[in-house]
């Protein structure tokens, strides 16, 4: 079928909405009419060539919409169901069988190599095969998605709100609630107050920890962090040492936990040095290289540094939990969302870059 999709013809090139041919759903797959899709930093680094997929490509991995057609072997979804998307996983490897699909042995292949679940591609453009992203490519009017990616959405819940929960929001919230799990009367440092960091702050407010320290280089973002639940803020550009500033807030010891959401190796090291002995630092942003002294900064002070994928979330369980918190007024993530028309996709990316928008969501109709 002929659809509209936001095509990146080459690495680092501008995205344009084009006519693309989309194939039929195959075994275990579903055809979905997309209603909305969140824009995530992972889409941007994909466009810049960070992942091993070929161009042209269609990005977008926080989609939501309505099931149009199901392929062979699909029994849990039917035509007319409202669904949102998250990451792909195989369902059969050791990690998946242990109930930890976020650690799937095939995570990289299924999400970042540009093919669908079976290793083939569903889209063509100008007689060329088009790479998919996260097994979905939701910057489009329609997508063929594997059943493992799908989450049921209640009829009364807006799809433009369900869409952005599939990656960044669940990653930030899951880092706190599923990975760090703060104990009562503890402290947590959250560095980087974008959508992921603010989601972590909202989750920390749901936890029993007593000190939620937000760190960024923007006073505007820190003010928003306070609105979302931060008890203390640190502007990293205005202090000599973030670690010292954290210790001043935490009785000279450092935070019990830290979640670095910046994607900066330098910032990750600062976060690690801001936690106390026996503290835990989570690497949430996709930082490249980091150099630190193992004995003095990690092992010798019995700290833990953990890499977090998708907030250790099982989307089919965790996203409905977050939606319930939202309905109870405890997870107001809608306050950081701004919607854009599909054809405004480049403006949406630019506004996020400039800090005008925290979480951009494209609406397809």
pLDDT score of 193: 96
The neighbour count for residue 204, using CB atoms within 10 Å, is 32
Residues of the chain short of pLDDT 50, as ranges, are none
Q: Angle 181-183-186 (CA atoms, 0-180°, nearest 5)?
A: 115
Alpha helices in the chain (DSSP H): 41-47, 94-97, 107-112, 159-162, 168-174, 195-206, 219-228, 242-249, 265-273, 294-297, 315-327, 345-353
**Is the link from the previous residue into 56 a cis peptide, with omega within 30 of 0?**
yes
**Token pair 């997870």: residue:** 331
Q: Angle 275-279-284 (CA atoms, 0-180°, nearest 5)?
A: 75
| Rounded distance between C-alpha atoms, residue 211 and residue 225, angstroms | 13
Q: Is the dihedral of CA 216, 221, 223, 225 positive or negative?
A: negative
CATH topology for the 169-309 domain: Rossmann fold (3.40.50)
Name the nearest CA neighbour of 261 among 311, 193, 213. 193
pLDDT score of 20: 97
CATH topology for the 2-166+332-363 domain: Quinone Oxidoreductase; Chain A, domain 1 (3.90.180)
pLDDT score of 84: 98
Sheet holding 211-216, edge to edge: 232-235, 211-216, 187-191, 255-260, 275-283, 304-307
Q: CA 207 → CA 158, 183, 186, 320, distances in Å?
A: 26, 8, 10, 18
| Rounded distance between C-alpha atoms, residue 148 and residue 58, angstroms | 20
In the chain, where does the domain assigned CATH 3.40.50.720 lie? 169-309
In the chain, where does the domain assigned CATH 3.90.180.10 lie? 2-166+332-363
pLDDT score of 254: 97
């Amino acid at each position: 079928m002929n659809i509209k999709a936001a095509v990146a013809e080459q690495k680092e090139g501008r995205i344009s909405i084009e006519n693309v041919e989309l194939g039929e759903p195959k075994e275990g797959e579903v055809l979905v009419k997309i209603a909305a899709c969140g824009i995530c930093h992972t889409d941007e680094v994909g466009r810049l060539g960070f992942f091993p997929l070929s161009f042209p490509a269609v990005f977008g991995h926080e989609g939501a919409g309505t099931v149009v057609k199901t392929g062979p072997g699909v029994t849990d979804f039917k035509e007319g169901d409202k669904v949102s998307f998250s990451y792909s996983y195989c369902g059969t490897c050791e990690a998946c069988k242990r109930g930890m699909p976020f650690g799937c042995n095939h995570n990289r292949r299924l999400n970042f190599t540009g093919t669908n679940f079976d290793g083939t591609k569903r889209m063509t453009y100008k007689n060329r095969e088009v790479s998919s992203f996260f097994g979905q490519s939701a910057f489009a009017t329609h997508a063929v998605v594997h059943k493992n990616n799908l989450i049921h959405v209640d009829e009364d819940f807006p799809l433009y709100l369900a869409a952005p929960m599939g990656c960044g929001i669940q990653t930030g919230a899951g880092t706190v609630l599923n990975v760090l799990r703060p104990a009562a009367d503890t402290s947590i440092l959250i560095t980087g107050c974008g959508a992921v960091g603010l989601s972590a702050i909202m989750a920390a407010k749901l936890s029993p920890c007593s000190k939620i320290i937000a760190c960024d280089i923007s006073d505007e973002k820190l003010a928003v962090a306070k609105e979302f639940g931060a008890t203390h803020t640190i502007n990293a550009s205005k202090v000599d040492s973030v670690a010292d500033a954290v210790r001043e807030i935490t009785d000279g010891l450092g935070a019990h936990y830290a979640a670095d959401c910046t994607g900066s190796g330098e910032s990750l090291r600062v976060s690690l040095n801001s936690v106390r002995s026996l503290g835990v630092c989570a690497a949430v942003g996709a930082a490249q290289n980091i150099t630190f002294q193992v004995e003095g900064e990690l092992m010798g002070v019995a700290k833990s540094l953990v890499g977090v994928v998708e907030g250790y979330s099982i989307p089919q369980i965790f996203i409905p939990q977050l939606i319930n918190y939202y309905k109870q007024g405890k997870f107001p993530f809608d306050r950081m969302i701004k919607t854009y028309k599909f054809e405004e996709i480049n403006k949406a990316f630019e506004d996020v870059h400039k800090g005008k928008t925290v979480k951009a969501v494209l609406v397809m109709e």
